A and B are shown apart, each in its own frame.
Chain A
């Protein structure tokens, strides 16, 4: 039997991330179903929006605080978190599957001698324990797994537990000052692309491929994305042509994503691209070639010229 779920909540620039709130929601949900307690832990210096945590079911939050932990440090964060987890007797840890968690969770797994399940897209309870489903081969297959060690770590893909409305409970924040932070690996600077939404976190993605013909033609996708509060993604062809940065690539050698809506423009739908986005809840394809494989994966398609359809779509959404 498990004892307690501890949810790691991530902040950046002192602000708690939405994907972590999804992990909070999942943590409180599964603690309730398993009949065990749950709590959340945040690592950082000054943090502004603690209340967002209790909105999603966990009111007991501990803030591991130090000026040295304002920015991420693999060594500092893993030391603080695993010591805290040991002290609180948590034996199930939840993380949002963010770039920080992907770095942090494996270090924690060794420090706690835990089993590790990364990038879970489904969690279910069977016979009193959690069964996780996670994509392998970029989502061309799914693995159903059971963690067998007494301490278990799950990272959960964003958009797996949609947030919905919070319930606005009060948060009780305990502050624990962390002394002697191990900074043998530390982030010294955060270089952010101004306000850009990342494809890995977005709930809507507008992606472009070779069919856009030139880098400047992504401007219309940027405009469409702005209207939808979406991220702009790209196919491997567009990235390899140098039209878009590597970080925007969706597919097997880019990011695998599960947004609510994925709009593929001028993307034919090579198998490695489909693998990276087929778990999107709704897929729209806009492509000249009605035979393109992307249409088989799409919920809605328009088999026509993107340069005519996208401006019309922008116009229609502005209405």
Chain B
């Protein structure tokens, strides 16, 4: 079987984010980029299937040349090949999903994994959009996944619990932390990744439904009050929470 895993190239979660002069992009100076952390869970789940019943695992990503570095990381973990849908145009989630869905159709894959969200745009919707565009089933925010023939039993995380979901292939699954423990790329994997093929395809972004007016920094809080160094400050803290903040 062929499995597509979508990966994205995002600023490290430890990175400081500054807004660029155009107010439409972030200032990438000094920002290191990583494979989106949730995509590691997505890829690991695909690799587990490859290990147990065999599968051709294809990475798909959208973006500029710099994204190849992230695709290489996925290839080093064990994916078989990569596809870069190349564009530097502004995209919203739906235009991204349309590009990915088109490629999945070309690949003829009937199982797709993605991270539950990319830690840049934080929309958390591309997987569900792709599923709906293709007419596939979908389970989002999966913390467990079982495939038996074409039957799927998965659990998704919800507020204060989990939902057990039953569905079947073809399907799109988005991965949450806790789904598995992603493997590290071995030295052998890293060497092998250098020989694997990344197919680059120029793509055109379709109609956009979200206009970005501007990016801005959140309002900075004034530094707070240190009330003391031990439990003698507790009564004052309780008083402030009750009388000044009025939150308890």
Contacts and interface: CB of A to CB of B under 8 A. Distances in A.
Contacts of A180: none
Interface in A176-211: 184-193, 196-198, 200-201, 204
Contact of A184 (B167, B213, B237): B167
B9 to A, nearest CB: 14
B155 to A, nearest CB: 8
Contact of B235 (A131, A185, A245, A316): A316
A253 B224 contact: no
B159 A201 contact: yes
Contacts of A290: 226, 229
B204 interface: no
Contacts of A237: none
A7 interface: no
B197 interface: no
Contact of A305 (B16, B122, B211, B230): B230
A109 interface: yes
Q: B-side binding surface: helix, strand, loop or mixed? A: mixed
Contacts of B37: 253
Contact of A300 (B156, B160, B237): B237
B80 to A, nearest CB: 27
Interface stretch (A38-46, A56-64, A214-222, A306-314): A306-314
B188 interface: no
A146 B13 contact: no
B218 A308 contact: no
Interface string B203-244: 000001111111111100101111111110111011011000
B62 interface: no
Interface size class of A (residues with CB under 8 A): 35 or more
A282 B164 contact: no
A201 B194 CA distance: 45
Contact of A196 (B11, B122, B129, B160): B160
B213 A131 contact: yes
A191 B164 contact: yes
A254 B240 CA distance: 29
Interface size class of B (residues with CB under 8 A): 35 or more
A136 interface: yes
B246 to A, nearest CB: 9
Nearest to A75: B137
A260 interface: yes
B224 A302 contact: no
B158 A136 contact: no
Contacts of A137: 11, 17, 26, 119-120, 122
A241 interface: no
B182 to A, nearest CB: 12
B230 A142 contact: no
Q: Give 8 nearest A-B pairs by CB, closest first.
A: A115-B209, A312-B231, A198-B159, A106-B125, A106-B128, A192-B161, A140-B17, A110-B132
17 contacts: A78-B132, A98-B158, A100-B158, A110-B133, A115-B92, A116-B93, A137-B122, A145-B210, A186-B166, A190-B163, A201-B160, A252-B119, A254-B177, A271-B14, A298-B224, A300-B241, A309-B230
Interface of A: 71-72, 74-75, 78, 98-100, 102-103, 105-107, 109-111, 114-119, 131, 134-149, 184-193, 196-198, 200-201, 204, 228, 245-247, 249, 251-254, 256, 260-261, 270-272, 275, 278-279, 281-285, 290, 295-305, 308-309, 311-313, 316-317
Given A142-B218, A253-B177, A309-B233, 18 more contacts: A99-B159, A103-B138, A110-B94, A115-B209, A131-B213, A140-B218, A144-B212, A148-B210, A185-B137, A193-B161, A261-B248, A275-B13, A281-B245, A284-B241, A299-B224, A301-B227, A302-B226, A308-B230
